[in-house]
Amino acid sequence: MKATLGIIGGSGVYDLAELTRVRELDITSPWGMPSAPPKEGWLGETRVVFMPRHGAGHRLSPSDINYRANIDVLKRAGVTDLVSLSACGSYREDLPPGTFVLVDQFMDRTFRRETSFFGAGCVAHVAFSDPVSPNLVARLANAAVEAGARHVVGGTYVCMEGPQFSTRAESLAYKAMGASVVGMTNMPEAKLAREAEIAYASVAMVTDYDAWRPHEDGVGVAEILEVMRENGAVARRLIASLAAAFPAEHEPCPIGSDRALDFALVTAPEHRDPALLAKLDAVAGRVLG
């Protein structure tokens, strides 16, 4: 299978100026409107499909993003490997603003989002103990070195609903729970990518220390925007390095992200809802035939 690298740009990353031969893809989704039409382009020999998570001009708040439509459209566009770029707050002194955390775990504290493509009429339970693709993380780590990005491999991203930032009590609680960073968008995005059999990894780019530190003002968006601009420039270099060394053929994921549906469907074929099956044509087409 040919590899296509998907990039979801978060706060501060609304396009990838380095893409060549760019064209907007006209893809509709049975799951509704994606944040923006996906853009196809090339970085060297690597086909890239880019989507700004919050839409043009940062129109959508984290709770209003149609994560299902975004992932479905990226699947239809042929994305095999997906990298999320996200701003985040830090819970560790050793992860100061400017650090890129290649997260390997998530905690989901969201409560106002559609979290699955599956449900009544076609129930599926995908494995999610290891939510990111180790291959992609290894490639991102190499790219981070080349791009001169301060980075760490591994970390736990807690996803809060937002859009307000955490209270100090919440911030201290997430830190005590073992979270490394906090953001508002990687859930359910990572879950949906797994259901769609797309290998996923997230670059969590620290912009602030959230609200847990004593004697410090809480987090404010003005400071975040400033750091975000600097992080965004480094992120673009990182993606260019990642693409430069990206394989032409999709590498099978060692933890099976790209075959997540092999044993996941539990609804008996005769009890499946044809209307839902029709909507699953892209996401689950490989196993539904």
Ligand X SMILES: CSC[C@H]1O[C@H](OP(=O)(O)O)[C@H](O)[C@@H]1O
Per annotation, catalytic residue among 72, 81, 108, 210 = 210
The DSSP annotation for 63-99 comes to GG--HHHHHHHHHHTT--EEEEEEEEEES-TTS-TTP
Contact call for residues 152 and 80 (beta carbons, < 8 A): no
Tokens of 203: 């670059």
What's the CA gap between 273 and 109, in Å, rounded?
30
Q: Which distant-in-sequence residues (6+ apart) come within 8 Å of 268 by Cβ? A: none
Ligand-binding annotation for 209, yes or no, is yes
Residue nearest to ligand X (CB): 10
Of the candidates 196, 197, 6, 3, the one whose C-alpha atom is nearest the C-alpha of residue 83 is 6
Contact call for residues 19 and 243 (beta carbons, < 8 A): no
Residue 208 annotated to the active site: yes
Piece of the chain touching ligand X by CB under 6 A; list 19-27, 95-103, 177-185, 267-275: 177-185
Q: Does 221 bind ligand X (CB under 6 A)?
A: yes
Ligand-binding annotation for 167, yes or no, is no
Closest distance between ligand X and the C-beta of residue 24, in Å?
21
Residue 217 annotated to the active site: no
> Among residues 137, 182, 192, 199, which is the contact residue for ligand ADE, using CB under 6 A?
182
Residue in the structure block whose two tokens are 């290998």: 199
What's the CA gap between 195 and 120, in Å, rounded?
16
Closest distance between ligand X and the C-beta of residue 207, in Å?
7
Ligand-binding annotation for 184, yes or no, is yes
Ligand-binding annotation for 11, yes or no, is yes
Contact call for residues 102 and 153 (beta carbons, < 8 A): yes
| Cβ distance to ligand X smaller for residue 41 or 52 | 52
Q: Does 179 bind ligand ADE (CB under 6 A)?
A: no
Number of residues that bind ligand ADE (CB under 6 A): 12
Q: Does 101 bind ligand X (CB under 6 A)?
A: no
Q: Does 232 bind ligand X (CB under 6 A)?
A: no
> Among residues 27, 219, 234, 260, which is the contact residue for ligand ADE, using CB under 6 A?
219
The continuous run of DSSP H or E covering 162 comes out as: none
Q: From the list ligand ADE, ligand X, none, which binds 208 (C-beta under 5 to 8 Å, kind-based)?
A: ligand ADE
Per annotation, catalytic residue among 72, 81, 104, 208 = 208
User: How many other C-beta atoms lie within 10 A of the C-beta of residue 1?
Assistant: 10
Q: Does 224 bind ligand ADE (CB under 6 A)?
A: yes
Q: Which residues bind ligand ADE (CB under 6 A)?
A: 87-89, 165, 182-184, 207-208, 210, 219, 224
Task: Write out the binding residues.
Answer: 11, 53-54, 86-87, 184-185, 208-210
